[in-house]
Amino acid sequence: MPRSNRGFVVSVPARSWGVLIVLCGAIFLEGIDVAMLNVALPSIRADLGLSTGMLSGVVSAYVLGYGGFMLLGGRAADLLGRRRMFLFWLVVFLAFSGLGGFATEGWMLLLARFVTGVAAAFMTPAGLSLITTTFPEGRQRNRALLIYAGTAAGGFALGLVIGGLLTGFGWRWVFFAPVLLSLVILLAAIPLLKEPAGGRPPVQGFDVAGALSITGAMMLLAYGVVRLEHPADGWPLTVAAFAGGLALVAVFVAIERRSASPLVRLGLFRSAPLVRANLMAALLTASFFGFQFLITLYLQELRGWSTIQTGLALLAAAADVVLAPTLTPWLVNRFGNAKVVLGGLLSGLLAYALFLGVGLDWAYAAMLPSMLLIGLMFAFVYGPLTIVATDGIAEHEQGLAGGLINSSFQFGAALGLSMVTAVNVAALGTATGAAAGLEAMRTALAVPVAATLLAAIISITGLLRTRATTQPSEDRVPLNA
């Protein structure tokens, strides 16, 4: 197969790139959907008269649906057909996003967001596994995954700007806009997507007990993470949620060991690179979403910036949309995933450290270096981790691998938000005023700093192990991050 001087495969069928564009559109849709809603929450509360608890529940409902069903969604793609799962749940996503736009009561928003989260939990790993089974393993797949990951990260950043603009016309457009985008993606996906030949094993039995136990475990763990945002509501229920979730994980492991047709092959977790990639994925999104929450709090509540101004301020962090498909593939080919990931994490660590000295009179120029460094972090870490998490996995388990890495990204985001909220509230206490708010925010910035530092340590461990045990070949870069 011919290769360019830079080592990338250039003879890529046009249809394969068409598939990639469709699937990038879907992951971009999922990213902007989450970000746009966060910007619109104050307007939703003012219009519908929702309590703070109900408003928080609107966000939590999506997390519960997404986190609870992600592993099941990934395995369902392997067993029931990736194309079928992607198209069906894209239609569900479209329908319930529209329902949210017509909501007149809080319960309608809760239902819409929960089912939208479930739809994303099935659609996202199906889409990722369609990429990994459409593009052959190696540099061609790596480049496709880096483009896909850059699009996903860009959706989170651009969603803030788009959400701010749409909220200006009315918060309901935050729900209607994804309907229009979903419809375009659906019409393009139907003729383009094909079920990979030989990629779907015969279904010899469905592990119902395993599916119920892991879904229950994931939902309880997600609920426990969400409750960390509200320490004043009582720790017993939070502890009970985590304990129940961990107990169900133990039940799930016992079931899988004895099942003739396990939902998840436990041997998958013997892959040290896969485990490290998933841990770093959770820490990456924990740091980013925690920081995003704090910077939004700083700009809007302490500085009085509008939602549009805040979104534009964060736009520099979306530099990964350009860097991920251009610079990152060259760096991965030249230095390998491990070094690129470490470089990205160190960029993020520097970004958060620079922001520790933030003041109430900071000009945007003082914030810009942190925003740009965060863009570098996402460009250099998100995509390569996705490559590591799916590399070397059998084709009939690509959906499961996709579900695992997306679960890690999702749980990390929820954990980061919850931790910075809890630390910020505890540090603020009963104090009031901008100075107290700034000091509490600086304290909470320790969360993204610590998360990124831990991820960097894990990355260094993987890099040292890679040096000791592997040597890169001529045609493939080392993938053990």
> What are φ and ψ of residue 172, in 5° steps?
-65, -25
The number of beta carbons lying within 10 Å of the beta carbon of residue 49 is: 10
Query: How far from chain centre, in Å, is Cα 408?
Result: 8
Residue 91, pLDDT > 90, answer yes
Report the pLDDT value the prediction gives residue 108, as an integer from 0 to 100: 92
The type of residue at 364 is Y
Report the pLDDT value the prediction gives residue 90, as an integer from 0 to 100: 95
Report residue 107 as tokens: 């319960």
Considering 58-72, 226-240, 360-374, the range whose residues carry the highest mean pLDDT is 360-374
Grouping H, G, I as helix, E, B as strand and the rest as coil, residue 476 is coil
- Given a contact cutoff of 8 angstroms between Cβ atoms, the answer to whether 39 and 161 are in contact is no
Confidence of residue 6 (pLDDT cuts 50, 70, 90): very low
Report the pLDDT value the prediction gives residue 230, as an integer from 0 to 100: 66
Domain 14-194+263-469: what homologous superfamily? Answer: MFS general substrate transporter like domains (1.20.1250.20)
Instruction: Give DSSP secondary structure letters for 85-103.
Output: HHHHHHHHHHHHHHHHHT-
Residue 466, pLDDT > 80, answer no
- The pLDDT of 99-107, averaged and rounded, is 90
Sketch the domain layout of the chain as residue ranges.
14-194+263-469, 208-262
CA distance readout (Å), 101 to 112, 250, 307:
9, 40, 20
Report residue 76 as tokens: 């369902």
pLDDT per residue as tens digits for the range 304-363? 888 778 878 888 887 877 888 888 889 988 988 889 999 999 999 999 999 998 888 899
Residue 199, pLDDT > 60, answer no
Considering only residues 10 and 341, tell me which one the structure prediction assigns the higher pLDDT: 341
Query: Which residue matches tokens 């996903």?
Result: 152
> What are φ and ψ of residue 476, in 5° steps?
-140, 140
- The pLDDT of 298-308, averaged and rounded, is 83
> What are φ and ψ of residue 387, in 5° steps?
-60, -50
pTM equals 0.82
d(CA 90, CA 23) in angstroms, rounded, equals 11
Of 175-179, 261-265, 320-324, 448-452, give the lowest mean pLDDT range: 261-265
Report the pLDDT value the prediction gives residue 167, as an integer from 0 to 100: 82
Q: Residue 3's beta-bridge partner residues?
A: 9
Q: To the nearest whole number, what is the mean pLDDT of the chain?
A: 84
Residue 40, pLDDT > 50, answer yes
d(CA 198, CA 289) in angstroms, rounded, equals 38
- The pLDDT of 77-93, averaged and rounded, is 92
The number of beta carbons lying within 10 Å of the beta carbon of residue 243 is: 12
Report residue 379 as tokens: 């460009």
